[in-house]
Amino acid sequence: MAPNTKLLDEVSAYYSRKITEHGDTPRGVDWNSEAGQVHRFEQLCRILPNEGAYLIHDIGCGYGALYDFLAARRDDFFYRGIDVSQAMLDAAAGRLAHAPNVELLADVSDGCIADYSVASGIFNVRLDQSDADWREYIVRTLEQMAATSRKGFAFNCLTSYSDADHMRPDLYYADPCWLFDLCKRRFSRNVALLHDYDLYEFTMLVRT
């Protein structure tokens, strides 16, 4: 299935504006706080092993904050950051220029395989895309993550169980039950849905 280039261009432009306005900070990738960003990383990284080296794809890597999170805890990993926004990649390159275990890419090409892939926040900001088009984008991205991850992948989404009076029309609130069923049926029998932490979202862990 060919990518929706208009959708990706709009997402790229949105996040390029954010990083230009706020710099390499959580607000630069559209998060409210560093504490919330770290809390999300903690959930996503439950897909990773406690020991042993691994190669990880950070899909929608932004300025590379996940690398900092991982490097503060261990050093036996290789980090490949992927982002459609060149401004984000430039920010990450500036920050991680001296890290020996980093590669930054605009896309995951054929044969570009990792042990694990994670995606934080890339399914949230749909702008003016329809529900159907955004769901198609999510499914296509998950298919790519599954195809390029040897051992598993993890992602998060805003939850459809959010309080209605706090929901925004430019954001996408996913049905965790629908995505759990999709992942179980299409990708693996080993799927965990994490919906017990204090944010209006959920995290899915898919072990392949």
Measured CA to CA, the distance from residue 206 to residue 208 in angstroms comes to: 6
Residues 207/188, Cβ–Cβ less than 8 Å: yes
What pLDDT digit, counting tens, does each position of 168-180 carry? 999 999 999 999 9
Is the pTM higher than 0.85? The answer reads yes
Please write the tens of the pLDDT for every residue from 125-174.
999 999 999 999 999 999 999 999 999 999 999 999 999 998 999 999 99
* CB 82, CB 189: distance < 8 Å: no
Counted domains in the chain: 1
State the residue for tokens 């500036």.
94
| 25: number of Cβ within 10 Å | 15
Q: What is the pLDDT of residues 64-101, one digit of tens each?
A: 999 999 999 999 999 999 999 999 999 999 999 999 99
Helix boundaries (H) for 77-130:
86-95
Percent of the chain surpassing pLDDT 70: 98
Domain extent at residue 196: 4-207
- Domain with residue 48: its CATH number is 3.40.50.150
pLDDT at 2: 45
